[in-house]
A and B are shown apart, each in its own frame.
Chain A
Amino acid sequence: RIWKRAPDGAWHCSDVLEGVHESTVRSCAWSPDGKLLADASFDGTTAIWEYSGGDFELVDTLEGHVNEVKSVSWSQSGSMVATCSRDRAAWIWEILPGNDHECVDVLEGHTEDVKMVQWHPFFDVLVSVSYDNTIRVWADDGDGKWPCVQTLTEAGNSGHSSTVWSISFNQKGDRMVTCSDDCTLKIWDASIDLSQPTTGEGHESWRHISTLSGYHGRTIFSVHWSSEGVIASGAGDDAICLFAEENSMVEGPSYRLILKKEKAHDTDVNCVRWCPQNPRVLASVSDDGTVKLWELQGDILD
């Protein structure tokens, strides 16, 4: 569903995009220029819709996954789309003129359902998170292939101990936050461009900075970093939490809770997203069937 805001501030549903998918539409993503919308469906396909002349039109369908597609992400240039699926793979597609596309690579490595993919805001790097508890980083090797350049695990990297559901980069692209069924959020240093060949010995890698635990009592399904540096999280405990980064000269970055909105919804909060135009406005959705819009003022979320 497409929602538009009327001049008086009220939101209404302007379009319903239907008749294409044969099963659940799990998630969607706007292209960077806002002209295209990609959706990820349990029927195994990703549909690309174009907004033109006040209407949404289906212009392309990406087929390749063998079962449910969980997430879709546009690269910063808009020339590539990444999708991931329960079939344990992530696919990278090149979007070509004339509503055409080609498969660039199939990224295999996860041993379970891949929950989400997200492009780095600047580097030619893609991150995927999975039911196998790991976070994988894939980078362009310059030869048309995207090998896995790093895997962040529980044992090796202070990673998650259960399904990783969601990932978000901060605006600068030097930090990444992930959330998990283990009820924690983890912040990572993502400042190194893993698509560049390493100089000398010793592999540069993204490393764990901080783990935020004890804030949610259930699986954290979604996390999003606002352009003002506020991290929003939504979880199965029906709550939304907001965190801010603090940088101390001695100890490095740390994260404090700004507020926890208990009972933000009647049940599980599935996704939280900051508004691109207004970094104080947050949208949240839930199994309770509602979409809620919140505004952050000081330390109140309403």
Chain B
Amino acid sequence: MDFLEPMIALDETHYQDGYKDGYDDGMVSGKEEGRQVGLKLGFQVGEELGFYQGCLDVWMSIIRLDQGAFSARVRKYMEQLAALLSNYPLSDPENNLQDMMKEIRLKFRVITGSLGAKLGYEGRPTSSEQDLEDI
């Protein structure tokens, strides 16, 4: 049916035009939103890592002044934390960022737990596991 073809073509053209407009707009707002989220998340991650690195720097200074300030076991934990922090990819994002951060947080807790120090990163977002208290 030849007389129908231009109508179908028009429909298709309108669809394509709308799609292109939506795509272009989405690209712009998506990029902007991504930039905002990235900035926020990047700041949070950076701040938290900076906190741990800062604590580590203080501990390292103490060790330089007094070799016996911490036990061999705790010194080993501190070395492990240093390695974990330096391995964290600050520029190129990798897939297992969450796992790496969990490992860093745990190692930090093991150290503070062993020192009896009440140190905690205050800015950390609260746990999302808001379960009811169970038995």
Contact = CB atoms under 8 A, between A and B. Distances in A.
A32 B40 CA distance: 51
Interface string A23-59: 1100000000000000000100000000000000000
A102 B114 contact: yes
Contacts of B131: 86
B31 to A, nearest CB: 36
A100 interface: yes
A228 B50 CA distance: 57
B119 to A, nearest CB: 10
B96 to A, nearest CB: 15
Contacts of B116: 60-61, 63, 100-101
Given A101-B116, A102-B74, A64 B134 contact: no
B99 to A, nearest CB: 12
Contacts of A103: 77, 110, 113-114
A106 B105 CA distance: 12
Interface string B105-135: 0100110111010100000000101010110
Nearest to B112: A63
Contacts of A238: none
A67 B74 CA distance: 23
Interface string A71-107: 0000000000000001000010000000011111010
Chain A CB within 10 Å, residue with most, of B114, B133, B134: B114
B73 A144 contact: yes
A64 B73 contact: no
B44 interface: no
Contacts, number: 38
Given A42-B133, A68-B133, A144-B73, A106 B110 contact: yes
A14 to B, nearest CB: 27
A66 B112 CA distance: 13
A91 B109 CA distance: 11
Interface in A147-161: none
Contact of A62 (B77, B113, B118): B113
A81 to B, nearest CB: 12
Contact of A106 (B106, B118, B134): B106
B13 interface: no
Contact of A101 (B106, B114, B129, B134): B114
A300 to B, nearest CB: 31
Contacts of B61: none
A237 interface: no
B84 to A, nearest CB: 14
Given A86-B134, A103-B110, A106-B106, A66 B73 contact: no
22 contacts: A23-B133, A24-B133, A61-B116, A62-B113, A63-B112, A63-B116, A64-B110, A64-B113, A66-B109, A67-B127, A91-B113, A100-B116, A101-B116, A102-B74, A102-B114, A103-B77, A103-B110, A103-B114, A104-B73, A106-B106, A113-B134, A144-B73
Interface of B: 71, 73-74, 77, 106, 109-110, 112-114, 116, 118, 127, 129, 131, 133-134
